[in-house]
Amino acid sequence: MLTILFDGIAYGMLLFVLACGLAVTLGLMNFVNLAHGAFAMAGGYVTAVLMNRIGVPFLATLPLAFIVPAILGLVLERTLYKRLYTRSHLDQVLFSIGLVFMAVAAVDYSFGSQQQLIQLPTWLQGRIDILGVQVGLYRSFIIVICGALVVALQLILTKTRFGSRLRAAVDDPRVARGLGINVSLIFATTFAFGSGLAGLGGALGAEILGLDPTFPLKFMIYFLIVVTVGGTTSITGPFLASLLLGIADVAGKYYVPSVGAFVIYTLMIVVLVLRPQGLFERAR
């Protein structure tokens, strides 16, 4: 029971790191980016390729799993995404689906369609017994890293100058621009950062979520659930939503495997119909 809760929390934290970049994209520029998972996949493949082909240790690949998708995100944002901010949601959806298709096929072409397996270092394998609860070492590692990231993000958002600018821009981009805040620079930075975080999440999650070319399609719905249920104006909303989703998903798969993902989708529809603005937000 507690083990499931623990696994669920690890899963949820992972989802949060994967999806929080999307929350910013959606909240800041009202851009529906279905291609967010492609950046996560990029991070996962960076780690897998570095470890399996060059033999870089797992931990050393993580910074690169952050940096490569971040640069990719920055380039794509500056060249393509920024042209579409003012377009309709339909255009944005079509564009990002197109990107997903391209990413899936391109990865399939370069690395093959099989699952990428990564060999965790021995000190992260296995389980230990804490107060009678079986605790996976790797999952504890994920919780520690993601927990630290959450705290860091929250501090950046609430305590730094950049954070207050970002919040101002999310609240009302026009007024923020009028006050002399360079909204497009802020957006490029956060987009790159969000993509980087997704990449890191993809690398960390390669062991738990699996990693193959269809990754962006498989997890797109999860990211969207996190964002739509959690709302986009704070970091706590998506965080709570991902924890809920993670725990519900793991528990659901364990206790009622025949029902499967059914419960989560139904819950999502119910939440969206009753509270279209998100579960943890005030109605505007």
What is the Cα–Cα distance from 199 to 157, expressed in whole angstroms? 20
CB closer to another protein, 168 vs 221: 221
- Rounded CA Rg of the chain: 19
Identity of residue 23: A
The packing angle between helices 262-274 and 215-230, to 10°, is 40
Pairing of strands 133-136, 127-130: antiparallel
The residues in 219-238 that bind another protein, with binding defined as CB under 8 A, are 221, 224-225, 228
255 binds another protein (CB under 8 A): no
108 binds another protein (CB under 8 A): yes
- 95, 191, 222, 223: which one contacts another protein (CB under 8 A)? 95
Q: Least distance from C-beta 26 to another protein, angstroms?
A: 7
- Here's the x/- map for another protein, 53-92, by CB under 8 A: it reads as ---------------------------x--xx--xxxxx-
CB closer to another protein, 105 vs 185: 105
What are phi and psi for residue 86, nearest 5 degrees? -90, -5
CB closer to another protein, 50 vs 209: 209
CB closer to another protein, 12 vs 216: 216
155 binds another protein (CB under 8 A): no
CB closer to another protein, 109 vs 254: 109
- Here's the x/- map for another protein, 160-199, by CB under 8 A: it reads as ----------------------------------------
DSSP H stretches of helix in the chain: 2-29, 36-49, 58-79, 89-111, 137-159, 161-171, 173-178, 183-209, 215-230, 236-255, 262-274
CB neighbour class for 128 (10 Å; exposed up to 12, middle 13-18, buried from 19): exposed
What are phi and psi for residue 133, nearest 5 degrees? -105, 130
What is the Cα–Cα distance from 48 to 211, expressed in whole angstroms? 9
Q: Least distance from C-beta 177 to another protein, angstroms?
A: 23
- 52, 67, 78, 101: which one contacts another protein (CB under 8 A)? 101
What is the Cα–Cα distance from 114 to 91, expressed in whole angstroms? 32
What is the Cα–Cα distance from 68 to 42, expressed in whole angstroms? 8
99 binds another protein (CB under 8 A): yes
Binding site for another protein (CB under 8 A): 26, 32, 80, 83-84, 87-91, 93-95, 97-106, 108-109, 217, 221, 224-225, 228, 258-262, 265-266, 268-269, 272-273, 276
